[in-house]
Amino acid sequence: MTEFEEWGEQIESQNLYLKHYQLVTCASIVILMQLGFTFLEVGSVRVQFTKSILMKNMMDMIFSALVYFSIGFGFAFGNGTPTGGFMGTSNFFLVSNENVSDIHHSPAGWMYHWSFCATSATIVAGAIAERTQFVAYGVYSIVGSSVLYPVISHWIWSDTGWASRANPESVISPVLDDAGGIAVHTSAGICSLVACYFVGPRQHRLDSKGNLVSDLPRQNQAFIVFGMLVLWFSWYAFNAGTAILEAGNHESLMGNIAAYTTVCTASSGALYLVLHMLLRKKLPEPSDLCNGILGGLVCSTSGCSVIQPYYGSSFIILFFLAGSSFMILLFLVGSSFMILLFFVGSSFMIISFFVGSSFMILLFFVGSSFIILSFIPFLLGGIVVMVPYFPLIANSIVFTFSQPQIKKISLQSHCNFTTISQQSQYNLNTISQPGIIIGSVGGAVVMAISKLLTKLKIDDVVDAVAVHLGCGVWSAISAPLFSDTHHNTNSG
C-alpha cells in the first residue's frame, strides 16, 4: 500500500468518525425536544395535573427506547421485501449491523431515528392531557413506538418501503419527506385527533349549552414560551441532522437547512400574529403565538433539503388563486338575480311539497335512522384506517406533476432521507423566499384548524392536531410543490 493510499484511508476513517459524532450530537439535541414538550405541556395544564404530565413524558422516553431498540428499528429499516415494502423483517436488536461504515444502520443511526420516534410518541401526551390513565397511555406509548411509527417510517424512508424514494420498485411515485412531516408529525397528529375525539373534552370545558368554552386557565405561560424556545432550538438538529445521512457533501447543506427552518418558522409566527390582531382585534396569548411558531417548524420538515425558488410553483399557485377568486366573484354576482327569481317563483311549490310529503319524509328518516347509525361506526373506522395514506398519496401526486422529469432512483443503504446531488450548492434566496410562503400558510392553518376543532367540540390542550396534523399535511404538499429539481437528483 502506497503512502497516498494510507493517507486516503486515514482521511476516510476520520470522515466516518466525524459523521458518527455529528449524528450522535444531533440526536442528543433532538432528545432535548422532550424537555421542550414537557415545559409546554406542564404550562398548558392545570396545576393538579403536573405530576401526570411529567410521568407520561418520562415513560415515553423509557418505553420508546426499549421497544424501538428491540423491534421498532427492525420494523422501520429492516428488509421489507418479504412484506412487499410494508414493514421490515430484520435488524432486530441491531444484531446484524456490524458494519459501522453503514452510518444509516449503525448504532449512531439508531439513536438518531429513536429521537424521532420518541418525539412522535410525546406529541399525543399534550393533546389528551388531564384525561388519560397512566396504564392506558403506557399501552399507547409502547404500541406507537414499536409498531405505528416504525411501519410508517419504513414506507417512506427504508430502501425497501413501498413509497420510498430509495426504492426503485416503489408502488407509487416516490414520497418526498426529508425530516418527518408525514412520518413523525402527520402520524402523531392523526393519533392525537383520534385520541381527543374518543376521550372527550376535559372537565369544565363545556358550558351549560354543551359548547366548548374559549379555554381553561393555563398553569404558566412562561413555561409554554420556554418550552417553545427549546423546541425551536432542537428543531435545527431535527431538520439539519438529516443531511448527515446524505451520501454526498452535507456540510453546506446543513447550514442552508437551518436558514430555511428559521425563515419558515418566523414567517408562520408573524402571520399568526397579524391574523389574530386583524380578526380578533387584540394581541394573542403567548401560548397561542407559540402554536403559530411551532406550526412553521412543522411546515419546514418535509422539504427542508429541496425547495424550489419563489418564482416557480408559487407563482402558479398565486395566479391560480387570484384568477379563480375573480371567476367565483363573477359567478356569485351574476347568478344572484337568478337565484332570487328561483326562490320567489318556486316558493309556493316548495311549501306545497313539504306539506304534502311531510309524512313520507318522517317515515323515511325514522325507517333509515337505524341503518345510518349502524353505518357510522364502520365509516369512522374506515376513515381512521385510511387517513395515514392521504398525505402519502397527496405528496406523491404533487411530486409527480410538479417534478415530472424526476425518476425513481436507487440509493446506497446509508443514503435515505435526502437525495441531494453531491455537488449541489444553495443560496439563501433559493430557500428563504418559498420559506416565507410555506411558513405563512402554516400560521393560517394553525389558526383555522384550532378554530374548527373548537366548533367540533374536540378538546386539544396544546393544539397538537392543528400544529402537527394540519401543518404536517401542508408540509407534505408544499415539499414537492416547491422542491428544486436541480437539487433533487442523485449523482450516485
- Looking at the structure, do residues 272 and 378 belong to the same domain, yes or no? no
User: Domain limits at 101?
Assistant: 3-306+391-487
Residues 440 and 301 in one domain: yes
pTM (two decimals):
0.78
Most confident of 23-32, 302-311, 384-393, 482-491: 23-32
Most confident of 84-88, 164-168, 189-193, 431-435: 189-193
| Total number of domains in the chain | 2
- Express each pLDDT in 290-315 by its tens digit: 999 999 999 999 988 877 434 333 43
Residue 96 counted as domain residue: yes
CATH of residue 51's domain is 1.10.3430.10
Q: Do 233 and 375 lie in a common domain?
A: no
Alpha carbon distance 20, 1 (integer Å): 27
Identify the domain boundary among 386, 405, 427: 386
Please check whether residues 355 and 458 belong to one and the same domain: no
User: Which pLDDT value is given to residue 389?
Assistant: 55
- Whether residue 15 is found in the same domain as residue 48: yes
pLDDT recorded at residue 168: 83
pLDDT in tens, 435-453: 888 999 999 999 999 999 9
Per-residue pLDDT, 394: 63
Choose one of 364, 386, 408: the last residue of a domain. 386
Return the pLDDT at 36. Answer: 97
| pLDDT for the residue 388 | 52
- Please determine, for residue 124, whether its predicted confidence score (pLDDT) is greater than 90: yes
Please identify, among 366, 386, 406, the residue that sits at the C-terminal boundary of a domain: 386
Mean per-residue pLDDT for 58-80? 94
Provide the pLDDT for residue 96: 65
| 200 domain-assigned | yes
What is the tens place of the pLDDT at every residue in 92-112? 998 765 455 567 788 899 999
What span, in angstroms and rounded, lies between the C-alpha atoms of 406 and 396?
12
Residue in 187, 188, 189, 156 with CA at minimum distance from that of residue 396: 156
pLDDT digits (tens, 9 = 90+) for 361-398: 443 344 444 434 444 444 444 444 445 555 666 666 66
Number of Cβ atoms within 10 Å of the Cβ of 81: 13
Q: How far is it, in rounded angstroms, from Cα 267 to Cα 287?
A: 17
Query: What CA–CA distances, in Å, run from 311 to 95, 225, 264, 345, 434?
Result: 49, 35, 17, 50, 9
Minimum mean pLDDT among 34-38, 181-185, 345-349, 384-388: which range? 345-349
User: Same structural domain for residues 132 and 175?
Assistant: yes
Domain membership flag for residue 23:
yes
